[in-house]
Amino acid sequence: MGDMSINWWAILVAVVAANVIGAVWFTPRLFGARWMREVGITEADAQQGSFPRMLALTVASSVVLAIALAWLNGVYRSASLADGVLVGLVTGIGVFLMASVPHYAFQMRTPMHFAIDMGHTVVVIVVMSAIIGLWR
């Protein structure tokens, strides 16, 4: 079933990368302001949330995602950056993006909201998987 060893340094770097990407992706100058309009929240609404709780959930989900990607990279015997990118693209587009289409469609979300959210998700998964594939 492939090499199931996990490089914990790669996991750590992938988790940091995922959270940096998210912090940049959702800045007002990139997609943050547009995303808030698409979702229907204001800056004041965003300030009402518990930042420590949101950050903890984001980091925890990144850790689980990185471990899952490490497992997938092991199954497919990734041994390079290119292998990691391929596993990331298949996982990001083939699994996450496609599984999300019905949710956005039935929630009547806008195509722009879908593009911002799924663009972020696919980029994060590809980068995380590339890091993990490179360090296997």
Helix H segments across the chain? 8-25, 32-39, 43-47, 51-75, 81-89, 98-106, 111-134
Query: What would the mean pLDDT of 121-128 be, rounded to a whole number?
Result: 98
Its pTM stands at 0.93
**Cβ–Cβ < 8 Å for 124, 113:** no
pLDDT at 3: 63
pLDDT digits (tens, 9 = 90+) for 63-109: 999 999 999 999 999 999 999 999 999 999 999 999 999 999 999 89
